[in-house]
Amino acid sequence: MKRSAFLLPMLGLAFAPGALAQPAPAPKTSSDPATETVVVTAEKTPESIVHYYVRSYAAPEPHLEKITSWNFKKSHLCPKTIGFTPSVNAFVTARIREVAAMVGAPVNPKQDCKSNIVVIVTPEPQALLDKIRADREDLLGYYQSPSEGDRLAMVNHPIQAWYATSTEDYDGHSLPDVYYNPQCPFGCSYAVTGWRTRDGLVSELRAVTIVADRNKIAGYQLGALADYVAMLALSRTQDFAACPQTPSITSLASPYCPSSGMTQAITATDLAYLRGVYKMDSGGSLHAQLSTIASEIEKTLEAR
């Protein structure tokens, strides 16, 4: 059975507010001087923290509306770092590989493999993105109009990532997600299962380009920078200014988090998120994928 990916329904996950509160006590009266005033404050539950984290950080691929990841069958990741000294380049590259192995992502065992994750440190990030837009537009990822492509190619954060993806159908055929694909000028069609809850379409990463502004990362600890880059390399996000409600390396470049609250290493919550990405059913619905990720984080928080 075939249908156009452009006609797929938009699937989402409803996040319920998780704050729980007890009933407030009756007010004290003049005839009851012994009554004490009790102030009850609502505490954030693990569920609400998880939902906020997943909702703010996860970015479904816009063409397919699913969480995207490195494909175990086809796209084992191979990172490369450019712009630091050779020893620092090697350290960042090795850390991406290490974190990938920790969360079960597919890693190319060869050190001299063809890179599909490139971390670039440059004092002129916008000039670099302009060149990528001109020469390798597909590396920016999927967009629906030229004006959207212009916005996508803008550098707005000290460290930012762009994700090139493909859609693999139920028969195992893959097509890149691009603004215009000459292989199917009137819209690409894919083989699907026919089930609404699991259509069999998979969003897979083809390439990740991470650009860091040398002028804005001078104060970052190297370990923290490497962990943050690893997080970006292993899962698609469009929130590069996240300030989650639980310790997370994703807050490293956020202008909204107090510097005292910045995390300097990848956390158990971050690793649980990534494990969920690589445990989820890649061919399942967005709702099911996000549920798997959230469940993995909840187990980690409850074990503390």
Is residue 163 a contact partner of residue 235, using CB atoms and an 8 Å limit?
Answer: no
Q: Pairing between strand 174-176 and 159-168? A: antiparallel
For residue 133, pLDDT over 90 is answered with: yes
CA 83/CA 88 separation, integer angstroms: 9
CA 227/CA 127 separation, integer angstroms: 26
Q: How confident is the model at residue 46 (pLDDT cuts 50, 70, 90)?
A: low
Is residue 217 a contact partner of residue 158, using CB atoms and an 8 Å limit?
Answer: yes
- Per residue in 221-233, pLDDT (tens digit) is 999 999 999 999 9
How distant, in Å, are the alpha carbons of 158, 186, 254 from that of 60?
Answer: 22, 24, 21
Q: What is the pLDDT at residue 25?
A: 41
Q: How confident is the model at residue 263 (pLDDT cuts 50, 70, 90)?
A: confident
Nearest to 69 by CA among 212, 225, 275: 275
- Per residue in 135-186, pLDDT (tens digit) is 999 999 999 888 999 999 999 999 999 999 999 998 989 999 988 888 887 7
Q: What is the pLDDT at residue 12?
A: 31
% the chain with pLDDT above 90:
56
Q: What is the pLDDT at residue 52?
A: 83
| Mean of the per-residue pLDDT values of the chain | 83
Residue type, 219: G
Is residue 284 a contact partner of residue 201, using CB atoms and an 8 Å limit?
Answer: no
What average pLDDT does the segment 254-279 reach? 88
